[in-house]
């Protein structure tokens, strides 16, 4: 503990005797401007907290000025706004794209990737403000609380985390009532039947009629993507260029990350690409039905995979599938800031050395398909693959290889008996035999 103050008789201001660290009541709240976090400002104040609001833009549209003003009006003593889009893509999305991260084969992890960044930025603000806690508006049922809490634990274990929504036991109507009682303006989003979140990597929609997993999502769920019925009648092509697994060009022209993702969200959306209907496993064990719109993520993941298909050696490609799954789970489960990510990324980065080249994707009425790929260091060799002229493959080598490859099953069959005879009995059925 502190060695200052000599005999301890002269306690530092605000510090209790006995070396107990100062307990200031300053908290940095992740503030979206919505109902939960607006009510949270007031609720935290009532608990004696000095509330600093923090809002970060990770997506395209967010009226930061209005949110900032609203935070102050609702009772925050200071309100920060930040643009996190560049670090979001650079530090979180690109490594995950290189890893090929898709949770449970469906979800490109937009929200899951955004949370650790928001929490990390809040920790910075907390340091700057000398705050002793961070707060968020997550419920006790979801994944986001885990991501905020664990990120804080990893980056600033001394900071306390306050989660008002987990504590206050109000339902939506109670909150609206609380808001009007305290003169907190109820935001327009409250009238939506859905709960949504969005950033550059995708949009998520849950609740309302979507809670019936048998019910098809109604049209009003979607905001980024067109109904395939209303998409252009001619296909659209996009050509994406990668350098070491990171996208760097569109239609042959260099492009910065933000513009690229914005363009692909628009082009994909216009062609109905990127709609996902996922019944997923939350970390805490609840199954939930989520709709996602992620046009850029779907296109980039697909294109990146196609480039790996043509550049990665077979063994690396196969093993990398396992790593991709681990990466996705790690991100989903809130372990972005963990030793596991550093270890996995060491592998991922090594695999990306030759993942440089171009991919052509065809978009048409809700579908996207890779139709071309090329790379300077591609392992696809025409002379080995061709069935036509120029075949350089020595077919006679195959027989010996397969003899050795199958040696163990042949030996087992010879020594221990034919394992599958019983299940294959009668397989031919009433086969008909004809002779001349
Ligand atoms: N189920 C997704 C995830 O866990 C999306 C969560 C969206 N969060 C929200 N607060 N609406 O990443």
198 Cβ closer than 6 Å to some ligand 1 atom: no
101 in a domain, yes or no?
yes
pLDDT band at 305 (very low <50, low <70, confident <90, very high): very high
For ligand 1, what atom is nearest to the CA of residue 109? 12
Give the pLDDT of residue 47.
95
Q: Which residue has the higher pLDDT, 7 or 252?
A: 252
Q: Which residues pair with 56 in a beta bridge?
A: 82
Single residue among 164, 191, 218 that ends a domain in this structure: 191
Question: Is the model's pLDDT at 415 over the cut of 50?
Answer: yes
Question: Is the model's pLDDT at 12 over the cut of 80?
Answer: no
E strand intervals along 263-341: 275-281, 287-293
Place of tokens 């950033």: 199
- In a shared domain, residues 83 and 231: no
- In a shared domain, residues 186 and 200: no
Structure tokens at 225: 């993507």
For ligand 1, what atom is nearest to the CA of residue 196? 11
- Give the residue-averaged pLDDT of 216-222: 97
Mean pLDDT, the chain, whole residue set? 94
Give the pLDDT of residue 196.
94
- In a shared domain, residues 35 and 183: yes
Question: Is the model's pLDDT at 33 over the cut of 80?
Answer: yes
Per-residue burial over 158-187, b = 16 or more CB atoms within 10 Å of its CB, e = otherwise: ebebbbbbbeeebeeeebbebbeebebeeb
For ligand 1, what atom is nearest to the CA of residue 110? 12
Question: Is the model's pLDDT at 5 over the cut of 50?
Answer: no
- In a shared domain, residues 79 and 112: yes
- Give the residue-averaged pLDDT of 381-389: 93
99 in a domain, yes or no?
yes
What is the C-alpha separation between 383 and 345, in angstroms, rounded? Answer: 34
- In a shared domain, residues 367 and 285: yes
DSSP 53-88: EEEEE-SS---HHHHHHHHHHHT-SEEEEEE-HHHI
Question: Is the model's pLDDT at 298 over the cut of 80?
Answer: yes
204 Cβ closer than 6 Å to some ligand 1 atom: yes
Q: Whose CA is nearest to atom 1 of ligand 1?
A: 290
Give the pLDDT of residue 61.
76
Pocket probe mutation, ligand 1, options 143, 193, 283, 332, max atoms within 8 Å of Cβ: 143
- In a shared domain, residues 122 and 179: yes
- In a shared domain, residues 226 and 157: no
Pocket probe mutation, ligand 1, options 146, 204, 279, 285, max atoms within 8 Å of Cβ: 204
CA 223 centroid distance within chain? 19
pLDDT band at 284 (very low <50, low <70, confident <90, very high): very high
Question: Catalytic positions, please?
Answer: 36, 115, 144, 195
Question: Is the model's pLDDT at 10 over the cut of 50?
Answer: no
CATH of the domain at 10: 3.40.50.620
Question: Is the model's pLDDT at 202 over the cut of 80?
Answer: yes
- In a shared domain, residues 173 and 272: no
Question: Is the model's pLDDT at 188 over the cut of 90?
Answer: no
Give the pLDDT of residue 20.
56
Alpha-helical runs (H) found in 335-376: 339-351
- In a shared domain, residues 361 and 251: yes
- In a shared domain, residues 155 and 215: no
58 Cβ closer than 6 Å to some ligand 1 atom: no
197 Cβ closer than 6 Å to some ligand 1 atom: yes
pLDDT band at 7 (very low <50, low <70, confident <90, very high): very low
For residue 111, give its domain range: 5-191
Q: Domain count of the chain?
A: 2
CATH of the domain at 253: 3.90.1260.10
Question: Is the model's pLDDT at 30 over the cut of 90?
Answer: yes
What is the C-alpha separation between 117 and 98, in angstroms, rounded? Answer: 18
> What whole-number percentage of the chain has pLDDT above 90?
90
CB proximity list for 190: less than 8 A, separation 6 or greater: 34, 35, 172, 176
Question: Is the model's pLDDT at 359 over the cut of 60?
Answer: yes
Give the pLDDT of residue 189.
75
Q: Look at residues 184, 207, 182 and name the one whose alpha carbon lies nearest to residue 34.
A: 184
- Give phi and psi for 270, each to the nearest 5: -65, -25
Tens digit of each residue's pLDDT (9 = 90 or more) over 143-183? 999 999 999 999 999 999 999 999 999 998 999 999 999 99
Residue 143 alpha carbon to ligand 1 centre in Å: 7
């Amino acid at each position: 503990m502190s060695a200052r103050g000599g005999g301890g008789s002269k306690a530092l201001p605000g510090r209790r005797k006995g070396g107990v660290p100062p307990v200031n009541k300053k908290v940095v709240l992740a503030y979206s401007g919505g109902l939960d976090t607006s009510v949270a400002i007031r609720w935290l104040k009532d608990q004696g907290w000095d509330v600093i609001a923090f809002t970060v833009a990770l997506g395209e549209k967010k009226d930061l000025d209005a949110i900032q003003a609203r935070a102050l009006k609702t009772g925050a003593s200071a309100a920060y706004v930040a643009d996190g889009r560049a670090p979001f893509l650079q530090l979180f999305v690109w490594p995950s794209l290189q890893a090929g991260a898709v949770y449970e084969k469906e979800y490109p992890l937009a929200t899951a990737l955004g949370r650790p960044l928001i929490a990390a930025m809040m920790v910075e603000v907390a340091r700057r403000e000398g705050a002793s806690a961070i707060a968020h508006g997550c419920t006790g049922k979801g994944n986001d609380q885990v991501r905020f809490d664990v990120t804080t634990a990893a980056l600033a274990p001394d900071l306390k985390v306050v989660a008002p929504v987990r504590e206050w036991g109000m339902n939506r109507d109670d909150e609206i009532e609380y808001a009007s009682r305290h003169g907190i303006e109820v935001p327009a989003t409250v009238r939506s039947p859905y709960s949504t979140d969005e950033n550059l990597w995708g949009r998520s929609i849950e609740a309302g009629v979507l809670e019936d997993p048998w019910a098809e999502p109604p049209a009003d769920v979607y905001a980024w993507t067109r109904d395939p019925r209303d998409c252009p009648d001619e296909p659209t092509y996009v050509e994406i260029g990668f350098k070491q697994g990171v996208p760097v060009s569109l239609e042959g022209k260099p492009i910065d990350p933000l513009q690229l993702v914005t363009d692909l969200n628009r082009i994909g959306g216009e062609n109905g690409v990127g709609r996902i209907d996922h019944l997923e496993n939350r970390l805490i064990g609840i199954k939930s039905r989520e709709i996602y719109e992620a046009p850029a993520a779907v296109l980039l993941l697909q294109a990146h995979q196609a480039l790996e298909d043509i550049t990665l050696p077979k063994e690396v490609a196969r093993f990398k599938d396992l790593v991709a799954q681990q990466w996705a789970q790690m991100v989903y489960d809130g372990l972005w800031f963990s030793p596991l990510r550093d270890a996995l990324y060491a592998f991922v980065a090594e695999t990306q050395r030759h993942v440089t080249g171009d991919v052509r994707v065809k978009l048409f009425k809700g579908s996207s398909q890779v139709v071309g790929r090329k790379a300077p260091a591609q392992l696809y060799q025409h002379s080995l693959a061709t069935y036509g002229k120029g075949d350089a493959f020595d077919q006679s080598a195959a027989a010996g290889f397969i003899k050795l490859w199958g040696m163990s099953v042949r030996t087992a069959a010879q020594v221990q008996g034919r394992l599958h005879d019983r299940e294959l009995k009668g397989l031919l059925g009433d086969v008909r035999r004809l002779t001349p």
